[in-house]
Amino acid sequence: MWSSMTSPMMIMADEEAEVEEMPMSKAKRKRNPNDDLVEAAENSLPHILMFYKRFEKERPVMLLDFQSQKIYAYPYEEFKAELSDRSQVMLAADYEKGIAKNKIVVFVRDNETQRLVSMLFDYE
């Protein structure tokens, strides 16, 4: 499903960020299933914002790959087309809210556990 998301459709080539992956035990993940992904995004936020600024006029959707710690910027419509119907609805709501409140949409993808989590961050 995600292979096409690493194709030349991206508006920015992938670049590595100097961010450490935070390990989390399976027991802890059961209690707070996405805390590790939220924490990874928070730790990568300076890098995400730096990459976002390069394409802010296009209002890209940002993606952090949890395993590789690479950050990607995607055009909204192309990113949305890769998602399930349910995720498309959630993205549309987040994206509209983000535009209205000057926030950026950040997804964190964990291929090992097959999780995809979205969040909004202030854009300053």
DSSP 65-78: ETTT-EEEEE-HHH
Provide the domain count of the chain: 1
Summarised one tens digit per residue, pLDDT across range 93-121 is 999 999 999 999 999 999 999 999 999 99
CA distance 58 to 86: 24
- In a domain, residue 61? The reply is yes
33 pLDDT band, cuts 50/70/90, is: confident
- In a domain, residue 43? The reply is yes
CA distance 9 to 79: 9
- In a domain, residue 63? The reply is yes
- In a domain, residue 83? The reply is yes
Residue 41's H or E segment, with its range, is helix 35-54
Residue span of the structural domain in which 67 resides: 32-122
> Which residues, 6+ apart, have CB-to-CB distance to 38 below 8 Å?
108, 117, 119
pTM for this one?
A: 0.74
- In a domain, residue 85? The reply is yes
